[in-house]
Amino acid sequence: MSSLIDPILVAVLLLNIFALGNSRLPSVIRVVGAQGGLLGVLPLLVHQHFGILPLGVSFLTVALKGVVIPFMLLRAMREAQIRREVEPSVGFLPSMILGAFSIGFSVLLAQELPMTKAHLGLLLVPASLSTVLVGFIMLTTRHKAISQVVGYLILENGIFIFGMLLVEAMPLMVELGVLLDLFVGIFVITIIVNHINEAFSSLDTRKLSALKE
């Protein structure tokens, strides 16, 4: 069972790269949804026992991250009537390469961090670090608000993966906490996205700079 963790994490990292290189917003949103769905199964594999509560939390995570949040984002996207991301400040191809470098960097960094013996050889820490970095890249270089929300989601996924390390210590706290945080965040963000669209009739966040003095 535990040998399934590695392929899932590799799939998550590949989905990161795919999200960085793609310019079509529906694909990117579905990629993040798929990533969230995959990560929902992860606590079960790490936890290694299948009681009713872990199964329930897993189901909730998959439903929320994999279905509900992408649905909300797709609806916001349809109302704003955009389907594509404009050329970001770091181009698509360079961001893909940057994402690949972040994976290498995270692996090197993970070897330097002080960790317990059990956690040393795992792919969990590098995967979470690089997912957080990829989320940062998307947040800072993309111009459309929806892409930045996707970046925020990827960032949260990265923190979620890191939380897997604490699963034995605080079984359900981590997952529930991250889920609540995520849900409230997305709720607020979709409202704001609508307001931005109404005020500027565009979702290009560079126009927000018109608000400064």
Partner 1 sequence: MTNLAVHLVLLLLMPPLLLGVINRTKAFFGGRRGPPLLQPYFDLARLMRKGLVLSHTTTLIFRAAPLVSLVAILFAGLLMPMGPFDAPISFPGDLVFFAYLFGLARFVTTIAALDTGSSFEGMGAAREVTFACLSEPALFFALLLLAKLSGSLVLSDMLHSPLHAQWTILGPSLVLVAVGLFIIVLAENCRIPVDDPNTHLELTMIHEVMVLDHSGPLLGIILYGAALKLFVLGAFLLHIVAPVQTGRVWLDWGLFAAELLGLSIVIGVVESAMARLQMRHVPTLLVASILFCGFGYFLLVR
Residue type, 138: M
> Helices (DSSP H) in 68-208: which residue ranges?
69-80, 92-112, 124-141, 145-163, 173-200
Contact 187, 75 (CB under 8 A): no
Helix (H), strand (E), coil (C) string for 3-71: HHHHHHHHHHHHHHHHHHHCCEHHHHHHHHHHHHHHHHHHHHHHHCCCCHHHHHHHHHHHHHHHHHHHH
Q: Tell me the Cα Rg of the chain.
A: 17
Smallest separation (angstroms) from partner 1 to the CB of 25 = 16
Under rule CB under 8 A, residue 21 binds partner 1 = yes
56 touching partner 1, by CB under 8 A: no
Closer to partner 1 at the Cβ: 14 or 180?
Answer: 14
List binders of partner 1 among 25-44 (CB under 8 A). Answer: none
Residue 104 interacts with partner 1 (CB under 8 A): yes or no: yes
Interface with partner 1 includes 86 (CB under 8 A)?
A: no
97 contributes a contact to partner 1 by CB under 8 A: yes
Q: Tell me the window of 28-36, 95-103, 137-145, 146-154 that interacts with partner 1 (CB under 8 A).
A: 95-103
Residue in 57, 64, 96, 165 binding partner 1, rule: CB under 8 A: 96
User: Is residue 98 within the footprint of partner 1 (CB under 8 A)?
Assistant: no
Residues 110, 147: contact at Cβ < 8 Å? Answer: no
Which one among 10, 120, 170, 173 touches partner 1, defined by CB under 8 A?
A: 10
> Please, what is the minimum distance in Å from the beta carbon of residue 170 to partner 1?
29
In the chain the first and final C-alpha atoms are separated, in Å, by 57
Please provide residue 127's backbone torsions phi and psi, each rounded to the nearest 5 degrees.
-65, -45
**Footprint of partner 1 on this chain (CB under 8 A)?**
3, 6-7, 10, 13-14, 17, 21, 92-93, 96-97, 100, 103-104, 107
